[in-house]
């Protein structure tokens, strides 16, 4: 019975050593083969403004949102986006007048 516990401890030691070695190898590969992988500024090109901005459609699902709609909807409608942007508010059966408030 004492030997079984000793073999089990040896198996845990081997498993822990293997997992540790694999983790260490993965980090070494990331640091050496993928040098400075965390620094995206090194590989990203300079930011250029596009000639034509893509159209954007914002869909806002709203159900019983009359309490927050006066604050949230104007911020969406006044976004500074150089392309075409449309905001669609979808009233999903509200009972608090969300649809009427949005139309105002």
With residue 91 as reference, give the H or E element that holds it. strand 85-91
Contact predicate 84/55, CB 8 Å: yes
Q: What are the helix (H) ranges across the chain?
A: 2-32, 69-77, 98-103
Q: Report pTM.
A: 0.50
On the CB side of 66, CA atoms within 13 Å amount to 12
Distance from C-alpha of 97 to C-alpha of 34, rounded to nearest angstrom: 55
Give residue-wise pLDDT tens across range 41-98.
666 667 788 889 999 999 999 999 999 999 998 998 898 889 999 999 998 888 998 8
Q: Token pair of 77, please?
A: 């409608």
């Amino acid at each position: 019975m004492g030997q079984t516990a000793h073999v089990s401890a040896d198996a845990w030691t081997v498993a822990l050593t293997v997992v540790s070695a694999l983790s260490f190898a993965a980090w070494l590969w990331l640091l050496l083969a993928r040098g400075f992988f965390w620094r995206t500024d090194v590989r990203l090109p300079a930011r250029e403004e596009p000639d034509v901005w893509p159209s954007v459609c914002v869909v806002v699902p709203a159900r019983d949102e009359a309490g927050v709609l006066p604050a949230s909807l104007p911020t969406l409608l006044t976004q500074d986006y150089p392309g075409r942007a449309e905001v669609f508010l979808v009233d999903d059966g509200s009972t608090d007048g969300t649809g009427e408030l949005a139309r105002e």
